[in-house]
Amino acid sequence: MTAIVERQIRASRCCVVIYWPMSRFFAGFWPWRLSRTSMAHVNSCLKYFICGVAVTLSIACGGGGDQNPVAPKAITPQSIVLSIRSGSGGSTQQLSPNGILQLSAVVYGTDGKVMQGETVTYRSSNPTAAAVDGNGQVTAGTAGGTTNITAGIDTITSNTIAVVVPNLNGIPRTITKIRSLPGTMVVDQIDTVTLQVTDYFNAPVAGATIGASIDPACSVTAPATTDSAGMMTLIVSAGHAVGGCQLGVVVANVAHSVSFTSVVGGQPVAIHFVSGALIGTAGTTSGVAAQALDKYGNIASNGAVTFTTRNSSIATISAGSTVNLVAAGQTVVRATVGNVVDSMAVIVVPAGQSYVTTTPSMSPLDTGALVNASVQIYSPSPIGSATLTITWDPAVLTYVPGQASYSGQTVLNESAASTGTLKIAFATSSPATFAPYPTWLASLSFRVSSTAGRNGTITTTPNDITDGSFTNILSTTQAISIPVHTR
């Protein structure tokens, strides 16, 4: 009621303010003269017209309205939509241990439109399974389980995305090598490898069963399971033979190549010459080679061999392993490794003289081994034919018939081989010299006695040798006997 009275008062004031000047205008400038009565009617009409207009304008313009108009309604958050920014869609997500999932939240206002710049708070119902940071990045936690991820502003909460992390606690994933095998092991050596098994969260796995495998040069034994710290020590034993040992392990289908070692020979206990004897003419040189062997016949570690000769007037050593044949005669080359010593025969034939030999392929002879002996002839003069007799001790060497090989110009007579005698005949229609190096005639096979420490000889005796004119030159040919012994 008060507002209506106030509007009427304002309208009346407006009428007075407008009517007074207007009435004076008409009274002074009206183009025709009116009677006083007519002028009064005009003024009355003019007054009501102007006042009506003033009241209308006052109401329309709010001159008589409220002084506090209603403001437009503010837009506020109404809903939040949570979705996957990276990974597959859906309301449930599988997240591997230590995995990461990126979420995105979109805020919608009361007008149904996206509101930019709104800050939401991300929440995880089970942070132990998976936690979420302020940017919506979900990280799998330290244990398996399920968590519900939401985003919110004040009392408004988004839809839920469930994140499932498999429970992989105690499931073997990694095999870590704590202690490796050495780079090399000698035969019969025993060493250890220590491993630790951990799960997907790098926690030790106790009670895990490890399957171990290794190359035949070694053997491996392992305890039944890992201890409380996930540790296990495997015992690796080198065998009797040299070679490589690759150790591999498997735990719950997790395979790992753990360690590699090379098995080398043990300490030297014997020396083996690669030839049964060294034969040549005075004034020439020849190389000598020998190997230090361990108790299993492997090349020994730390087995550098040094050479000397027993009689330097017949042969000397230079440059470590070169034998200088000085004068006709017979001596030995001694090979030494630490406290181990062995020797090989050196036979020096007078310069210009022919000779024939039957030389085993090694010295000393391994008991029970099958060895070859090479029959060779040397002659600086042309030879047209020759007959030879080869003898040996049957208690040391047993001839193996049918295993011999020989040139097409050579004939073997094996009829007395069981008693330690064999005959060879050689003839050629084109006599030739067999120098400066000996020429091979045949290879014979022998089985070495199974008794170690036996000694004997192989002797090659020329019975008949002729030159190109079939003249006997036997007097210039030397029979040679080579010592052999079993080891």
For residue 45, what are its two tokens? 């009409």
> What is the structure's pLDDT at 487?
81
Asked if residue 50 has pLDDT above 60, the reply is: no
Average pLDDT in the 163-192 region?
90
Could you tell me what percent of the chain has a pLDDT over 70? 83
Length of the chain: 487
Asked if residue 106 has pLDDT above 90, the reply is: yes
Question: 174-264: what CATH class?
Answer: mainly beta
Residue of 21 and 347 predicted with greater confidence: 347
Asked if residue 321 has pLDDT above 80, the reply is: yes
Of 275, 310, 280, 308, nearest in space to 290 by CA: 275
For residue 457, what are its two tokens? 């000889």
Average pLDDT in the 163-174 region?
85
Of 435, 304, 291, 445, nearest in space to 361 by CA: 445
Average pLDDT in the 227-232 region?
93
> How does the average pLDDT of the chain come out, rounded?
83
Binned at pLDDT 50, 70 and 90, residue 406 comes out as confident
Reply yes or no on domain 77-165 having CATH 3.40.640.10: no
- Are the beta carbons of 412 and 399 closer than 8 angstroms? no
Residue of 443 and 352 predicted with greater confidence: 443
Residue of 412 and 14 predicted with greater confidence: 412
Asked if residue 289 has pLDDT above 60, the reply is: yes
**Whole-number Å distance between alpha carbons of 208 and 198:** 10
Average pLDDT in the 103-115 region?
91
> What is the structure's pLDDT at 29?
47
| Domains 77-165 and 354-487 equal at CATH topology level | yes
Hunting for tokens 């070169």 — which residue is that?
Answer: 322
Asked if residue 277 has pLDDT above 50, the reply is: yes
For residue 472, what are its two tokens? 């006997």
Torsion of CA 319, 321, 327, 330, to 10 degrees: 160
Average pLDDT in the 394-410 region?
88
Could you tell me what percent of the chain has a pLDDT over 90? 46
Binned at pLDDT 50, 70 and 90, residue 479 comes out as confident
Average pLDDT in the 367-395 region?
90
Where are the domains positioned within the chain? 2-60, 77-165, 174-264, 265-351, 354-487
* Across 38-47, 64-73, 178-187, least confident range: 38-47
Residue of 382 and 36 predicted with greater confidence: 382
Which range has the top average pLDDT, 55-59, 121-125, 214-218?
Answer: 121-125
> What is the structure's pLDDT at 287?
92
> What is the structure's pLDDT at 294?
92
Average pLDDT in the 166-180 region?
87
Interhelix angle 2-29/36-60, rounded to 10 degrees, is 140
User: Do strands 306-309 and 329-337 pair parallel, antiparallel, or not at all (unpaired)?
Assistant: antiparallel
Reply yes or no on domain 265-351 having CATH 3.40.50.1820: no
Binned at pLDDT 50, 70 and 90, residue 30 comes out as very low
Average pLDDT in the 427-456 region?
88
- The CATH architecture of the domain made up of 354-487 is Sandwich (2.60)
Asked if residue 32 has pLDDT above 50, the reply is: no
> What is the structure's pLDDT at 47?
56
Residue of 95 and 300 predicted with greater confidence: 300
Binned at pLDDT 50, 70 and 90, residue 12 comes out as low
Asked if residue 67 has pLDDT above 70, the reply is: no
Q: What is the largest CA-CA distance in the chain?
A: 193
